[in-house]
Amino acid sequence: MTLQSELDSLLHSARVPGLSRDHHALLTALDLGSSGGKRFRPWLVTTVHAAFGGDQPDTVVDAVAAATELLHTAFVIHDDVIDNDDTRRGRPSVPGLFRSDATELASSPDDHDTYARAGAILAGDLALAAAIRAVATCGVDPVTTHRLLDLLDATLHASAAGELADVRLALGTAMPSADEAIAVTEHKTAVYSFVLPLQAGAVLAGADESAVRVLGEIGRCLGVAFQLHDDVMAMFGDPETTGKDSMGDLREGKRTPLMVHASQTAEWERIAPHLGDPDLTEAAAAGVREALAACGSRGYVEDLADGHLALAREHARTLDLERSLLDPLVAQAWHMAATTHDPAARVGAA
């Protein structure tokens, strides 16, 4: 079974007689939100399950792997609502899809906003519910099911708090501390993208709690390193390669570690006026990039990412997993960040 077919079976399991138009709109949005992507989180689940000698049936592992992707889908949809993003990686986001539908239903821009926001929130909720259902019905014994649900619950709370903190910091005028900026990175991204799939794969394989805790530390360090790398690429990378707007973080006023470091340097006077400017021009953004490089912020964040990778290696050595697990994971993480996923690939395929 492919990952996409597993996702489709989870998302298309219900019918709503009498409101078929609205239900179809939600399902169409979910198809958009769950298609494509790099499928990195499901790959982590299956890879760790195999690394720990797991013998769960493919159907079980595939269900849990699909749950991590559905969780990602839900978070991305809700994040696009929060950030008012109508596009994602060069195509309409789920809110953007509903906004285009709204033009046929109402003439007021405010009505378009209301419909786009409502449709996207509800679609994200359905993806989240499907993720929980996938774990709860994956077919393992009750003890393992509860362990998986505990991981999922902790992930939901951490990610929600991280998202809210990200919004709070972007709205405020004060710059967070370096520790607070890293905490947002950890809870908003690392917990659900790395910690959850690594630990879920180990739980499925019957690993003991000490090993699961170490994998959590590995995931935390890898996730922070990956996000720091992503922050740098989002600012300095080629949008054609990264698929991201190179001015997005600046326009949204994101208080990333790049900005936190820069705020403590003499170049901050050149950067500060453009942070949170919705009308930012490419010329102004180029000046910000030049200042971030000149004041050492880019190098600082790259070194910080390297430091978290080194910590991940230290944790991996305690389980004798540096070569067998960590090296392939790091290589695959950076490789998948720069390649396009084939939606027809099997759930466990790298």
| Number of structural domains found in the chain | 2
Q: Is the Cβ–Cβ distance between 45 and 64 less than 8 Å?
A: yes
- DSSP letter string, 263-298: TTSTTHHHHGGGTT-TT--HHHHHHHHHHHHHTTHH
Pairing of strands 91-92, 87-88: antiparallel
Q: How confident is the model at residue 1 (pLDDT cuts 50, 70, 90)?
A: low
- The domain of 120 spans 1-14+22-37+54-139
CATH code at 27? 1.10.600.10
My answer on whether 311 and 244 are in the same domain is yes
Q: Is residue 115 part of a domain?
A: yes
pTM equals 0.88
**Residue 242 scores a pLDDT above 70:** no
On whether both 108 and 186 belong to a single domain, the answer is: no
Residue 48 lies in a domain: no
pLDDT band at 335 (very low <50, low <70, confident <90, very high): low
Query: Does residue 295 share a domain with residue 199?
Result: yes
> Is 83 among the domain residues?
yes
Q: State how far Cα 18 lies from the chain centre.
A: 35
315 and 257 within one domain: yes
pLDDT in tens, 91-134: 888 998 888 887 777 678 888 889 999 999 999 999 999 999 99
DSSP 138: S
- Give the residue ranges of DSSP H helices in 35-57: 40-51
Mean pLDDT of 300-320: 93
